[in-house]
Amino acid sequence: MKRVVLTRDPAKDRELIRELKRRGLPYVSVPLVEHPPGPQRAELPRRLGEGWRWVIVTSPTAAHVLAAAWEEAGRPPLAVAALGRGTARVLARSGLAPGFVAPEAYGRSLAETLPGEGRVLWPASVRAGSELTQTLAARGFATVRLDVYTTRPRPLSRSERAQLDAAAVAALASPSAVEAWAARTASRPPAAAIGRVTGEAARAAGFEPVRWPEAPGVAGWAQAVQDLWNTKGHAP
């Protein structure tokens, strides 16, 4: 049976799963990456109490890491800035409602629009680039980056690899997921990306066609999945 293949932990895809069920689209979850602690994870709880103007959170994974460290630190007051609505929702569910959410779900947008001035803490992925810190520095912010988690391919079973081979549509949420998919199978089905950056990575990896929502959000992502499903002539 042809299915949409979701590539994140199901707990992170709860909203997308609800949308797919509502639309009658069959799916299976094959998480492609995992997020072990980074080399500076142990420092994070201690440093949260240093009086930061903002703590910047740029992914749902970073939001989960920050929330755990915040609990370990005894819930000190924090001003949190989020990249994307999904990240903001994870923070809010943890009791860390963001004081600022970037107007677009891109690092440059957050760095260019972050209010105020002063010291910023960024709990980041080991694999994150430097554009955000460079843009903030040009605006006068002093950013301290801590590499608190990393991303690596998750080992897959034979049946999970078979699901990738047979996918009708791939729902891709990060360039890391694109990379992990491409390393596991030669299959390049139609791909619905969570956003432009992931979509461009999917195109570069040979997925065809690739679509992503014009505006950030799970509803638009689910619509991209449905459009690709319908284009291929599958019956829900």
Residues 142 and 158 in one domain: no
Any domain includes 236? no
Strand partners, 121: 55, 144
108: helix, strand or coil: helix
pLDDT in tens, 191-202: 999 988 899 999
Residues 12 and 46 in one domain: no
Residues 159 and 142 in one domain: no
The residue-averaged pLDDT of 219-235 equals 86
What is the pTM (predicted TM-score) of this model? 0.80
Any domain includes 189? yes
Residue 207's identity, in one-letter code, is F
Residues 67 and 94 in one domain: yes
The Cα–Cα gap between 38 and 127 comes to 10
Residues 45 and 80 in one domain: yes
Is the confidence at residue 104, as pLDDT, over 90? no
Domain count for the chain: 2
Domain of residue 82, CATH code: 3.40.50.10090
Strand partners, 61: none
pLDDT in tens, 3-49: 999 999 998 899 999 999 999 999 999 999 999 999 999 999 999 99
- The CA-atom distances, in angstroms, between 147 and each of 67, 81, 127, 171 are 15, 17, 9, 27
User: Which structural domain, as residue segments, surrounds residue 159?
Assistant: 4-34+154-231
Structure tokens at 211: 């679509």
Any domain includes 113? yes
Residues 69 and 133 in one domain: yes
The Cα–Cα gap between 48 and 121 comes to 8
Residues 73 and 143 in one domain: yes
Q: What is the pLDDT of residue 153?
A: 94
Any domain includes 51? yes
